[in-house]
Amino acid sequence: MIFGVVAAVGLLAAAPARALDPETCAVPAYLLTSESVLSHVAAAVKARQPLDITVVGSGSSSLSGPDGRSMAYPARLEAALRDKLPGIEVRVALALRPKRTAAEVAEELGSLEGKPALVIWQTGTTDAVRSVDADDFRAGVEDGVAALQKLNADVILMNLQYSPRMETMLSVAAYNDTMRVVAQERGVPLFDRFAIMRHWSEVGDFDLFGATHGLGMAKRVHDCIGRALSKLVIETAHINPAELGIQR
């Protein structure tokens, strides 16, 4: 029963608190900065080579419907990076691993298809639903990050999505804290999706308390996540389009 409710929350659906405008879903700067550097991303962009990114995600990485793939956050990330880096070919692939724990996914990351410069690994929800021991979760995340770094790929960890209803049903703090610690120790950025979405809820950008569900809200949130992710990638790769001769 709990998983069914969490899956429904994963649709990120409700009526928006207000119509979207340019300031909607802004993210505080401290949530999009990191001392870690995406060196492989920076090298690809500097050489003006194709920038290949793989998102390893769960059910909340995709959307249903005929245009669901183009509206989900991996595609919105690709669109945002292409806009920020004109002249650079950006390709974002999605590798879905639904209903899998971090440890289960980690076993496969060493044989990930392609040679992405960056892998964004979204994890934690299934572990929280299954109440996986925090130490076991940490071991899984550490193993996964190590496997990806052996592939000479940059890594961004993405934690759970925020929902007031989910927060009352699941103990998520330990999983978010664990991912933050692993990110610091392994020298990789953390995209704190939980804190970012909670900020949007608190400032009224989205009514995440709503009881109804609809695809329109999901598309808006996914677009915001994609744009926020693009900012983190640019920031942590230390990319300055002007210095690279990229003209808009």
Written in H, E and C, the secondary structure of the chain is CHHHHHHHHCCCCCCCCCCCCCCCCCCCHHHHCCCCCCHHHHHHHHCCCCEEEEEEECHHHCCCCCCHHHHCHHHHHHHHHHHHCCCCCEEEEEEECCCCCHHHHHHHHCCCCCCCCEEEEECCHHHHHCCCCHHHHHHHHHHHHHHHHHCCCEEEEECCCCCHHHHHHCCCHHHHHHHHHHHHHHCCCEECHHHHHHHHHHHCCCCCCCCCCCHHHHHHHHHHHHHHHHHHHHHHCCCCCCCCCCCC
pLDDT at 11 over 60: no
Whether 241 maps to a domain, the answer reads no
User: What global pTM score does this model have?
Assistant: 0.87
Q: Which domain holds residue 98?
A: 2-236
- Given this model, what pLDDT does residue 247 score? 55
Whether 244 maps to a domain, the answer reads no
Whether 19 maps to a domain, the answer reads yes
Categorize the per-residue pLDDT at 76 as very low, low, confident or very high, splitting at 50, 70 and 90.
very high
Whether 171 maps to a domain, the answer reads yes
Whether 245 maps to a domain, the answer reads no
Whether 243 maps to a domain, the answer reads no
pLDDT in tens, 80-132: 999 999 999 999 999 988 889 999 999 999 999 889 999 999 999 999 999 99
Whether 182 maps to a domain, the answer reads yes
Whether 247 maps to a domain, the answer reads no
Residue 29 sits in a domain whose CATH number is 3.40.50.1110
pLDDT in tens, 230-245: 999 999 999 987 776 6
